[in-house]
Amino acid sequence: MADEGKLTLYSYWRSSCAHRTRIVLNLKGLKYEYKAVNLLKGEQLDPEYEKINPMKYVPALLDGDTLIADSFAIALYLEDKYPEKPLLPQDLKALNLQIGSIVCSSIQPLHNLVVLNYIEQKLGSEEKNTWFINQLNRGLAALEKLLNGCAGKYATGDEIRLADAFLASQIYVAVKRMQMDISSYPTLTRLYQAYEEIPEFQAALPENQPDAPSSS
């Protein structure tokens, strides 16, 4: 039996899904053991890890005897299990879930490692990067329009909510990984700058994870 109350996060430093999960854990003030799963080395394909996450993705979270895979499911589980620092207030719940869903369903899956590897094998690296940037721009443009008129200091008001964790990790991919100029998305740009000042977000950054290469 797992230790009661012990949280273990199966993560990869560069995964945006794991990134947003780390932000949620930090915002909740929850300590966890970090277990690295190196996607580039194929550790997610190990039969033992498949028992943890049958989809062979990261993240996965072990909370005592409860095992949850998928970043959205983890976020909702943590909101229910640890409500002391709520990220989904009832009056803003639908908006936060919509933003999270756009990131999880309409942006990130289109540029995950499996998809990018397939495009590179079929069409080459240049087409892979073109696809990546096009999907990011498509999603960021939709988010910018959605946030217009509802964003405050943060995505859905003047308090940090679940949407911010999902936005921060996705914008990071655009700015840091793909070196995109996001100035045409002024609301997202402003939010990203705000996230850079928040310790819980900084601690979750890919380059600050124990499995990050020293050159990152």
**DSSP reduced 3-state for 151:** coil
Cα-to-chain-centroid distance, residue 161:
14
Residue 82 has pLDDT above 80, yes or no: yes
pLDDT digits (tens, 9 = 90+) for 143-159: 999 999 889 999 999 99
pLDDT digits (tens, 9 = 90+) for 179-209: 999 999 999 999 999 999 999 999 999 999 9
The model's pTM is 0.93
pLDDT digits (tens, 9 = 90+) for 12-51: 999 999 999 999 999 999 999 999 999 999 999 999 999 9
* Both tokens assigned to 88: 């989904």
pLDDT for 4 equals 52
In the block, tokens 């990011």 appear at 136
Residue 54, preceding bond cis, omega within 30 degrees? no
Residues whose CB is less than 8 angstroms from the CB of residue 116 and which lie 6 or more positions away in sequence, other chains included:
128, 131, 132
**DSSP reduced 3-state for 69:** strand
pLDDT digits (tens, 9 = 90+) for 136-145: 999 999 999 9
Give the burial class of 34: count Cβ atoms within 10 A of its Cβ; 0-12 exposed, 13-18 middle, 19 or more buried.
middle
Residue 216 has pLDDT above 70, yes or no: no
The count of residues in the chain is 216
Q: Are 51 and 9 in contact (CB under 8 A)?
A: no
Q: Which residue has the higher pLDDT, 114 or 51?
A: 51
In the block, tokens 């229910």 appear at 80
Q: What mean pLDDT is predicted for residues 87-100?
A: 95
Residues whose CB is less than 8 angstroms from the CB of residue 93 and which lie 6 or more positions away in sequence, other chains included:
none
* Both tokens assigned to 17: 């899904």
Q: What is the C-alpha separation between 216 and 212, in angstroms, rounded?
A: 7
pLDDT for 1 equals 36
pLDDT for 2 equals 46
pLDDT, mean over the chain: 94
